[in-house]
Structure 1
Amino acid sequence: MSVLIVIPARYASTRYPGKPLVTLTGASGVAKSLIRRSWDAAMAVEGVDDVVVATDDDRIADAARGFGAKVVMTASTCANGTERCAEALDNLGGDYDIVVNLQGDAPLTPAWFISDLVARLRAQPQADVATPVLRTQGQMLAALLQDRREGRVGGTTAVFGVDGNALYFSKEVIPFTPGTYGLTDPTPVFHHVGVYAYRPAALRAYARWPQGPLEQLEGLEQLRFLERGVPMLCVEVAAKGREFWELNNPEDVLKIETMLQQMGQP
């Protein structure tokens, strides 16, 4: 099965304009743009046939081409990364079996998250869409709750049934848990990792549907599938000692730089 990774990136982010071009300094002291680090994360995944940056902005396109990325220009009317992936697929001719959406704000995504996701979709032909989830430890749960207390929209959380299919995703921390946890204690809260794998037919169908009320309220693109009754398989992935965080707010830059340096990422 051929696999395409698309990195959707837009300049006009509501919460953080110009985010893809923000620089992050790693362990080597070298500053690289967020889009470059996301590209590096995609290129580290084995068994992928093609990787492209999909954008509507010439500044992002020029930066991406500058470090050797393949770029697909997409319309400024794309409402989110999934719509941008659908357009990129059509522009490339659509000759792929699985399309992976690695959002451009997740440079800490380990290669095995994506490999595990693709493997699960291959193993379960009845599934059309899949996404990774990571069980939080006490430290990460505390960070999510702190974001909400301080009025920031931080990471997304997911709840799913015994069959692994998503019940809901939210920018609130769900499910509610009154427990207190040590830094490394496992918790019942799962952090949604901003990666998706789609069958091309499901991706094209998504692009034809209008936004639903839950997608609009939460600002979460994946809810369009749930609102249309399309199951989304949640694939639990293992951290293997790695920390994971997305760049959602300017305050996240220092957090991610610290994580890059602790992991020895250049």
Structure 2
Amino acid sequence: MNANDRTPADLLRSALASDPGRPLVTFYDDATGERVELSVATFANWVAKTANLLQGDLSAEPGDRAVLLLPAHWQTAVWLLACSSVGVVADVGGDPASADLVVSGPDSLDAARACSGERIALALRPLGGRFPQPPDGFADYAVEVPGQGDRFAPYAPVDPDEVALVVDGVELTGAEVVARSREDAGRLGRPGGGEGGVRVLSGLSYGTWDGLSAGLFAALAGGGSVVLCRNLERLGDGGLEKRVEDERVGVVRR
């Protein structure tokens, strides 16, 4: 964490400069058995590619609104930071009809069609796999993103005092997201994280600030890491305790 960080994208850049090899997001889907672990460097590479897709192919500009109709997932975390990198407002679970572009998972495609702008669909399959058949009216993220550049530079500087995130109807500037994330990281402390900060297991939805913070932003602000769990209720008896032990989790939020 750098005291000069003013946007979520700044937090990621500082993490990359500090320790690119440490784990940042470990994702489980307990409905499919999927497990994916992304280091800071790997996560930042996905963010750069997605930001290039946003700014280049989708012609997104600072102040544009991207509605994210996505669950708590590692690819959703990528989109949140990519939006911050470009200056696009990430509206989590907002109204697609009022959006400049929409990013949808497979379960919300019908609702996403209300957006008259660009539409991106994520299959949310293991290892970032593509749709067997691209949804009509959507670009398949898994097809579009691999060829994007590994480095990203915004056409215009991102203003930390402009709205960066909308969650549960509340608008937050980039600077406010950073401030809240730092406060939450301080409350979490460092149990189980050693010198690198706390390791948080989160089964919370990304539809609230608490879910976004526990599942991404507090880890970025505090030098920690996240074990992000989808369909956590599918774990059998003793499954959560074993995961906490195996993943060396210090804090559980569910």
Band of TM-score, shorter chain:
under 0.3
Structure number with the higher helix fraction is 2
More relative contact order, 1 or 2 (CA 8 Å, 6+ apart): 1
TM-score where L is the length of structure 1 = 0.27
TM-score where L is the length of structure 2 = 0.28
